[in-house]
Amino acid sequence: MADDPVNQQQFMQDVAAAEGPDGYINLGDPNNLNMPSLDEVLQLIEQMKDLSEEERENLRENLLKYTQTGTNVVSHSTWDYTIFLAMIILIMVVFVFFGYKLYVALKQRELRKEGKLKRKEMKKTAKTN
């Protein structure tokens, strides 16, 4: 496209047509953040000049398929939630495992200290007798 002046000229004309009077590209009303209706999207598809009839029909079919089934394209599947839950459970299991190991090690250390103190006391009482 860089070496083709005809395409460059057409591109510049398309950009100029999309620009507003103040030089910024007109992307619609910035205060209106509503999603376009299905009819508006279908009209926009019809207005696209560079799309072949096959591509337009494919776009129409996909749009109508998702609106008829009522499924949201952006919605997460059950599989996503399953993976998320599995990762959370795995992290929790790791924390529980290391927490348990720490608890057992501290408990054994405490028992050894108590045993050592008892043996020391027994030696002390044995010497005094």
Quick one: pLDDT at residue 27? 54
Residue type, 63: L
Find the length of the chain. Answer: 129
Strand blocks (E) in 5-118:
none
pLDDT surpassing 60 at residue 13? yes
Q: Tell me which residue of 63, 21, 15 sits closest to 7, measured CA to CA.
A: 15
**Helix boundaries (H) for 19-77:** 38-47, 53-69
For the stretch 81-124, pLDDT in tens is 999 999 999 999 999 999 999 999 999 999 999 999 999 999 98
Greater confidence (7 vs 18) lies with 7
pTM score > 0.75 for this model? no
Residue 7 and residue 1: Cα distance in Å, rounded?
Answer: 6
For the record, the structure tokens of 29 come out as 């009303």
For the stretch 15-24, pLDDT in tens is 776 665 655 5
Greater confidence (127 vs 1) lies with 127
